[in-house]
Structure 1
Amino acid sequence: MTSAPELTVIQVPVSDPRVRPLLRELGDEYSRRYGKDAHAELARYPDEEFTAPHGGVLLLLLDRAEPVAGGAFRRYDADTAELKRIWTHSAHRRRGLARRVVTELEHEARARGYRRIYLTTGPRQPEARGLDLATGYTPLFDTTADPETIGPLPFEKHLNHLEHVKEHTS
């Protein structure tokens, strides 16, 4: 009998070497989906925006060593954190890791005083759109429209709702 792999959540700076391979894979995937080099888009925001007290980067480590998923958040406005760079290594998809990353990012954002989360998903990322909807994000666009006509698909979630739900499930 083998034990289930252990997942550990850690906070790291964007410069942590364990972040680079996952961002490279994310950039490669975006480049394939959108037909242009997406690596510059991932580097559009200064690393400082993803550091405390206003932002952060989280990694999920498998057996305390291998980074298998992660994500980041930054300040969008005084009450709102923006989720960015959510990814799961291609060898570890369809295991609920992205959902775990989103949950961890939400908890960290709430701990930093944010009351709302904002995020955008590309129109050619149906998996991400599905994740956003499945994790309780409200679309801020016409969901019946062709996503290609909208561009980045905006979503939001109010964190005070999360606290209310948690109180009733405890």
Structure 2
Amino acid sequence: MASVEIRAVRYDDPDAVKLNDLVQQEYVERYGDGDLTVMDAAHFDPPRGLYLLAYDEDGEAVASGGWRAQEDSPEGHADGDAEIKRMFVVARARGRGLARAILAELERSAAAAGRTRMVLETGQRQPEAIALYRSCGYVPVPKFGYYRHDELSVCLGKPLVTSV
């Protein structure tokens, strides 16, 4: 990863909005619609969340990802969950380890904030995302979230280890 800087930003930061628009376009291409999960910038405010962007050597935002705290809910979350949202790398920057670097920092920060499990919802039409998460230790968990009844939904989770 040559000259990449990962920065914490708000979910409504202009660079974050730009990448979110791109990921929504990708969802439309793969699924026919954008992600309809309700999200708010405040969901990602520390200490109950974090939103990260990776900037390349030209200072351009090329990757994103965030987590937000979740508790036991009718949507299937459990107490102590940290839910990953908007993991995305622009096409020209893929294959450089950016998603892994963001994921590692999300896991570290969620554990430091006292979260006990990282969870995410992706879809069967995103095999590269599923492969990434599985290679990082994520395993299937009971479905949760807006798409929990959708046959294409894939929910994965991983216990978080807190450092003493």
Q: What's the TM-score bracket when you normalise by the shorter of the two chains?
A: 0.7 to 0.9
Q: TM-score by structure 2 length?
A: 0.83
Residue 147 (structure 2) aligns with: none
From the CA coordinates, give the structure whose radius of gyration is larger: 1
Q: Where do 5+ consecutive residues of structure 2 fail to align?
A: 72-78, 143-149
Structure-2 change in CA distance of 1:74 and 1:64 (3 Å): farther
**How far 1:71 sits from its partner (Å)?**
0.2
Provide the identity percentage. 33
Distance of 1:22 and 1:100 partners within structure 2: 17
Tell me: higher relative CO, structure 1 or 2? Use CA pairs within 8 A at least 6 residues apart: 2
Distance of 2:96 and 2:4 partners within structure 1: 12
Distance of 2:109 and 2:4 partners within structure 1: 17
Q: Does 1:47 align with 2:41?
A: yes
Task: Check the 8 A contact 1:7/1:60 in 2, yes or no.
Answer: yes
Distance of 1:98 and 1:117 partners within structure 2: 15
Q: Give the letter aligned to residue 105 of structure 1.
A: L
Q: Does 1:66 align with 2:67?
A: no
Residue 75 (structure 2) aligns with: none
Residue 6 (structure 2) aligns with: 9
**How far 1:125 sits from its partner (Å)?**
0.6
Give the paired residue count.
150
Q: Does 1:23 align with 2:16?
A: no
Residue 140 (structure 1) aligns with: 141
Q: Give the letter aligned to residue 51 of structure 1.
A: D
Task: Check the 8 A contact 1:121/1:129 in 2, yes or no.
Answer: yes
Q: Which has the higher helix share?
A: 1
- Within 5 Å, which residues of 2 pair with 1:106-117? 106-117=107-118
Residue 95 (structure 1) aligns with: 96
**How far 1:5 sits from its partner (Å)?**
2.9
Distance of 2:113 and 2:106 partners within structure 1: 11
Distance of 1:63 and 1:121 partners within structure 2: 29
Distance of 2:40 and 2:52 partners within structure 1: 17
Partner residue of 1:75 out of 57, 69, 76: 69
**How far 1:83 sits from its partner (Å)?**
0.5
Task: Check the 8 A contact 2:67/2:106 in 1, yes or no.
Answer: yes
